[in-house]
Amino acid sequence: MVKLNADMKEAFSKMKVYPVATASKDGTPNVVPLAMVELHDDETIWITDNFMNKSLSNLRTNPKVAIYIWGPEIKGCFQIKGVTAIKNSGAEYEEMKASVNRKRPELPARSLIIMKITEVFECKPGPTAGSKLL
């Protein structure tokens, strides 16, 4: 797996809402704005499923996901790609559910999507646009 560097982790921490992209088995894309996304460690992102429908359905048949990191407080931008596993029980799921319940007890925290980072790409315009960073 790929580990985010210090600059990438700092940029990730400044995001408030994360555009998360999935695709169905036949390739139909879907992008949703999600707030409950956290960098669990340098190579793992936890995404909380509170109200996912299409995204969760997509991930069940195609576990690939992309997250776009950009904003006014962030220098540059980049795209994180990875593969996911969906958890509805176990220690990691319980840890996520407890965290959500402390912050927003009204949210259901239905599933934990564990994303292992596989690639990071440059998104800013210019000669390096689209190049692989990690």
Residue 16 lies in a domain: yes
CATH of the domain at 75: 2.30.110.10
Question: Rounded to whole angstroms, how far apart are CA atoms 85 and 129?
Answer: 29
Residue 127 lies in a domain: no
Residue 101's domain comprises: 6-122
What pLDDT, on the 0 to 100 scale, is given for residue 75? Answer: 81
**Backbone angles phi and psi of 58, in degrees to 5:** -60, -45
Could you give the number of structural domains in the chain? 1
Question: Rounded to whole angstroms, how far apart are CA atoms 35 and 51?
Answer: 12
Residue 79 lies in a domain: yes
Give the pLDDT band of residue 1 (cuts 50, 70, 90). confident
Question: Rounded to whole angstroms, how far apart are CA atoms 38 and 54?
Answer: 21
- Per the DSSP assignment, residues forming a β-bridge with 85 are 114
Task: Let me know: does 71 contact 29? Beta carbons within 8 Å.
Answer: no
Torsion of CA 71, 74, 79, 82, to 10 degrees: -100
How do residues 60-101 score in pLDDT, each as one tens digit? 999 999 999 998 888 889 999 999 999 999 999 999 999 999
What pLDDT, on the 0 to 100 scale, is given for residue 73? Answer: 86
Residue 132 lies in a domain: no
Task: Count other Cβ atoms within 10 Å, centred on residue 106.
Answer: 7
**Sequential DSSP letters for 43-72:** TEEEEEESS-SHHHHHHHH--EEEEEE--T
Residue 129 lies in a domain: no
Residue 95 lies in a domain: yes
Residue 59 lies in a domain: yes
Residue 87 lies in a domain: yes
Question: Rounded to whole angstroms, how far apart are CA atoms 98 and 67?
Answer: 24
